[in-house]
Structure 1
């Protein structure tokens, strides 16, 4: 998820590994791998996560992006309403590749077998920077609404305006379509995976990521481990507080943005765009 003689070249490569270049490095090969393994009844999900049953992550969306190069890439996203999905801006433009069209897959645990909803419009945050990953958010509007009576299609609940809670120490649930390990093997399951992790405090978050965030106030983290971590196609997926305040609603607090370039289980923290910093922008779109 380094020699002085070639420092200029390495700086460029490190920039691509840490920031821009998601589609060529991860998204495109992940789309091909997931399609193949679903055909072979395989699983490729969050590393160390638990296989999800129907309805476990009703807000989780799969996103297939056809790039201008014609190649297919993959991300995850979160249902905001019956018409809109929130994801990472990297999924549409990673600094090198830009999307030509996209579709949301929802309603089943299998990415390529789920119901298809074509994306009519993509709105990236105007302050998004593909190198620093600052303001790494995009909203996708589908051209036909999700089915409100389907228990696999339930939008998340957003934090209130001006929310100041850091959620440090809170148990949260991360879910997505990324692979189950750096060296994942074929197995008979083909489901979404999810994992319960504890939200880190701001200071611990800053020092635990493989790359320091451009603005730590707009990023939150969950710890990495040699046993678990977010992988590849999890990018853009949700970090939620399930059954928030015993309301039965899933509170969206983060969107997967900064993953370790050294692997899913490299023990570096996963960085999320902190949703509470962007509620006003989200509601306006």
Structure 2
């Protein structure tokens, strides 16, 4: 099946702009060391309770472990990326943490408790979204949900608006160890036509949202699945960036939440 898909991509490359000028990579896959490898490059330290909707996700599988981010969208649901849940057996959810190793509490659930999009395709990063069903949590100043966009905003591109991404980890491509503090960065949404010049239109579809990364400020490995928020509303899920590094100035890409409002409601019952 993979051979067939690759053949289709090769045929499609005859059309300019379909295939990427720069290879894409999920933040989760950028490196195997350290195993907890999230980061916002050149971002800022978050204040306590600044991002109560942010969770850390420590996934385990027979092949190893990895770290992702996620967003609380209800007291029993976390939204993350499909490439984070893919292949995992269990996840430990870190709630209310600013210092990564000091959450308010954790819950561990098995893969039977998450819903990965049935049409997720890793090769072209299609439908990179998953829901995790969690034990019920009590909301507080440090643990709370983030709103989903209204259906009326489904056609909004958000181009030119500044959103905030958050996550834990290393602060530069040259770092070899993670940082303990939750990081965040303000990032400006760019048109998909601009993003397609880097990653191609087979990858950057209408269900993807991209941001510019000037001054080496970007999402990076392990930030996978984490939030891109605009005015207290979740508009993106960290999905992929450039294979050559997080500080090279290439766009960073997110799953566009407005494209999946029906999917989220069908599977979790949650809507704006």
Fold equivalence (TM over 0.5): yes
RMSD: 2.5
Structure 2 match to 1:38: none
User: Is residue 54 of structure 2 the alignment partner of residue 60 of structure 1?
Assistant: yes
What SS does the corresponding residue of 1:204 show, helix, strand or coil? helix
Structure 1 match to 2:246: 264
User: Is residue 238 of structure 2 the alignment partner of residue 241 of structure 1?
Assistant: no
For residues 35 and 254 of structure 2, the distance between their equivalents in structure 1, rounded to whole angstroms, comes to 22
| Contact 1:240–1:251 under 8 Å retained in 2 | yes
For residues 170 and 233 of structure 2, the distance between their equivalents in structure 1, rounded to whole angstroms, comes to 24
What CA deviation, in whole Å up to 9, does each residue of 1:205-264 have, x standing for no partner?
A: 222x4455435211110012342111101011110012xxxxxxx101111111111111
Structure 1 match to 2:147: 157
TM-score (normalised: structure 2): 0.82
Structure 2 match to 1:31: 35
| Contact 2:91–2:108 under 8 Å retained in 1 | yes
Instruction: List 4+ stretches of structure 1 deviating above 4 A.
Output: 22-25, 210-213
Residue-pair matches, total: 244
What SS does the corresponding residue of 1:277 show, helix, strand or coil? helix
Unaligned 5+ segments in structure 2 are 1-9, 11-19, 268-272
Structure 2 match to 1:170: 161
Structure 1 match to 2:7: none
Shift in alpha-carbon separation, 1:215–1:195, aligned structure 2, 3 A: closer
Unaligned 5+ segments in structure 1 are 1-10, 35-43, 243-249
Note the C-alpha offset of 1:186. 6.9
For residues 23 and 173 of structure 1, the distance between their equivalents in structure 2, rounded to whole angstroms, comes to 20
User: Is residue 24 of structure 2 the alignment partner of residue 18 of structure 1?
Assistant: yes
Higher strand share: 2
For residues 61 and 101 of structure 2, the distance between their equivalents in structure 1, rounded to whole angstroms, comes to 17
What SS does the corresponding residue of 1:216 show, helix, strand or coil? coil
User: Is residue 191 of structure 2 the alignment partner of residue 201 of structure 1?
Assistant: yes
What SS does the corresponding residue of 1:283 show, helix, strand or coil? helix
Note the C-alpha offset of 1:277. 0.5
Shift in alpha-carbon separation, 1:262–1:212, aligned structure 2, 3 A: farther
Note the C-alpha offset of 1:31. 2.7
TM-score (normalised: structure 1): 0.78
Match of 1:283 among 261, 265, 269: 265
Whose RCO is larger (CA < 8 A, sep 6+)? 2
